[in-house]
Structure 1
Amino acid sequence: MTVVSVSMPDSLLERLDAFAEEHGYTGRSEIVREASRNLLSEFDDKQLENRELLGVVTVLFNYETSDVEQRMMQLRHEHEHLVASNIHNHVGDEHCMELFVLEGTLESISTFVGKIRATQNTLSVDYSVFPVDAFDPTLETE
């Protein structure tokens, strides 16, 4: 097995070690391997391919980190064909939340979420996807 060096802040490393101990993992490598498999398989759902999807993406970041807010605006404009709606809210005294409603293919939503996740200084990125045709009561489901 190939050895890979990964940089991460001490606080994340401490959380990783605590998680390993609490959940019975043999070590950091086992957690990182499982997390990597899960991340890579997130958008590998054959039932979602070739379907129009609705995606909801929520991003939380620190108010003082203005570069994150600018990046969110850039991504909204770069993907205006995908972004159906975008809402910016203040959460408490220190945080902001961006909510994106997306309409598009699995590939386009996956690309957008990947760019959001690659943005430095985000605190949390969460998303969900649903087939648009699943909302149509006239269509029969199997």
Structure 2
Amino acid sequence: MQRITITLDEELLDLIDRRVETQGYQGRSEAIRDLLRGGIREAEALPEDAPCVAVVSYLYDHNTRELPKRLNQTLHAHHDLTRSTLHVHLDAGHCLEVSVLQGPSGPVCELSRQLMVERGVEHGQVQVIPAPVQHRHAVDE
């Protein structure tokens, strides 16, 4: 087993410590390994080309330099995958966005990761749901 070093803010560390206590883990490392395994399994659940729908929710600091602009540009750059986004102002500095994505699992998961790893995004979660094969409606001419 290899040893690594990570930096966590106090709030996240408190959450991990509470999980250790409430779930009965032997220590932080065991809890973090379990959380990582669950996240990796979830991300690998569908083949890259499998059609899916994803709900991506992320809380971010609105005051982080140009973050709202970067998030918006990322979604626009992937307009073919973006179905809708809900933007909620929580307080003077924090916003919650919930984006609904649809498309092949690989690109949808990659876009989800791009959104959640932006500097200033404090919390993020994605739920990927297998979807029926996509079809386009004919446009009346």
Scaled by the length of structure 2, the TM-score of the pair is 0.79
| Superposed CA offset, 1:20-71 (max 9, x none) | 122211111101111111121112224x654321222122223333533122
Q: Contact 1:43 / 1:106 at 8 angstroms: preserved in 2?
A: no
Secondary structure, aligned partner of 2:80: coil
Equivalent residues, number: 134
| Superposed CA offset, 1:81-127 (max 9, x none) | 21122232223444212221211111011101111221122232222
Indicate how the Cα distance of structure 1 residues 116 and 28 shifts in structure 2: closer, same or farther if over 3 A, else same: same
Q: Distance in 2 between matches of 1:36 and 1:131?
A: 22
Provide structure 1 residue ranges, at least 5 long, that are not aligned to the other structure. 135-142
**Cα root mean square deviation, aligned:** 2.3
Aligned equivalent of 1:52: 51
Pairing 1:87-106 to 2, within 5 Å after superposition = 87-106=86-105
Q: Which runs of 4+ in 1 moved over 4 A?
A: none
Q: Contact 2:48 / 2:107 at 8 angstroms: preserved in 1?
A: no
Aligned equivalent of 2:139: none
Q: Contact 1:16 / 1:28 at 8 angstroms: preserved in 2?
A: yes
Q: Contact 2:49 / 2:106 at 8 angstroms: preserved in 1?
A: no
Q: Distance in 2 between matches of 1:15 and 1:87?
A: 27
Pairing 1:1-142 to 2, within 5 Å after superposition = 1-46=1-46, 50-133=49-132
Provide structure 2 residue ranges, at least 5 long, that are not aligned to the other structure. 134-141
Q: Contact 1:57 / 1:101 at 8 angstroms: preserved in 2?
A: yes
